Amino acid sequence: MGRIHVVLLLGLTTLMVFGVGCDGKSLRLSVTTLDFGDTHQALNFDAYNANPKRAAIEATLEFDGSWLTLEPAQVVSAAPDSASGPFDVVTVEARLDRRALAGGPVEGQIHVKGRGLKKQSITVRAAPPYEAIDLSAATLNFGDDKNALEVIVTKSNSAAQRLEILAHTDNDWIDVSREPLALTGEGDSKTIIIGVKRSRLVGGYHEGRVVFEASGFTPKVVLVSAVQPYQAIMASNTLLDFGSSTRPQLVDVWNNNPSFETIDIIATPSHDWVQVIPASVNSAAPVSR
């Protein structure tokens, strides 16, 4: 009789575990699919315990690839007071790593499982373009005196073995090499020199951009700005040689740009043994005939 009693207990235990393992209704998910398309970087979904008869539910979230991260990767949801709520909702952020992908559209699965729960899955989809490179600077400001600056281009994509980067600009005053730039291993980097052709600039403030592209990947843009000094001040001499004489010498200066109604011209000596009188003058715009 004792042997029969043990067998019955074992059978009941097996039935209880099997019954709990088939529970696919207590843990609810707000989605069955996450579609990142060609633009999204992060999407959210909710998980919660919908069964007031079950204690807190613990579930683990696992993704079958390396291009998605989940935060949190484990959810705990307390039992609601009733079947109609309120529910202990846990929001999960799914973040896509576009640097870990190359080629065409991809699909994967988020597996949600826990003790006594029927495993559930969420389909995840993403489409190109993906991310390929990082730039050391998003903007370059040449000011009024710089003619060349550097940008470091670094390979950040782990899925593509080799990248060929092309740089181009629609601004004729920006100088950048149009030769292809090859990047191989992850983290490989090259330095690009971007210059300003000041002979093609008129006076004032100018903006432009340089675009870095790798086929099939998101382009990266560097915004470029430069200030070109106006050509306005003229002087009658470019050299004064006093020799052994102590007599002062004269220099005429004037506003030669009709765009400026008046200009305050200031003379600043480079050495204290040079004296300029007057140190500043105001010059009106030339009269056109």
Query: pLDDT tens track of the chain, all 289 residues?
Result: 444 443 333 343 333 333 444 577 899 999 999 999 999 999 999 999 999 998 899 999 999 999 999 999 999 999 999 988 899 999 999 999 999 999 999 999 999 999 989 999 999 999 999 999 999 999 999 999 999 999 999 999 999 999 999 999 999 999 999 899 999 988 999 999 999 999 999 999 999 999 999 999 999 999 999 999 988 898 998 898 888 888 888 998 988 888 888 989 999 999 999 999 998 999 898 887 5
Could you tell me the pTM of the whole model? Answer: 0.72
CATH T-level topology, domain 133-228 = Immunoglobulin-like (2.60.40)
Closest CA to 233 of 283, 278, 162: 283
Yes or no: say if 59 and 75 are a contact pair by the CB < 8 Å rule: yes
- Domain boundaries in the chain? 22-126, 133-228, 230-289
Exposure pattern of 216-253 as b/e (b: 16+ CB <10 Å)?
Answer: ebeebebebebbbeeebbeeeeeeeeeeeeeeeeeeee
Q: How far is CA 75 from CA 48, 78, 112, 116, 124, in A?
A: 8, 10, 10, 15, 19
CATH superfamily of 22-126: Immunoglobulins (2.60.40.10)
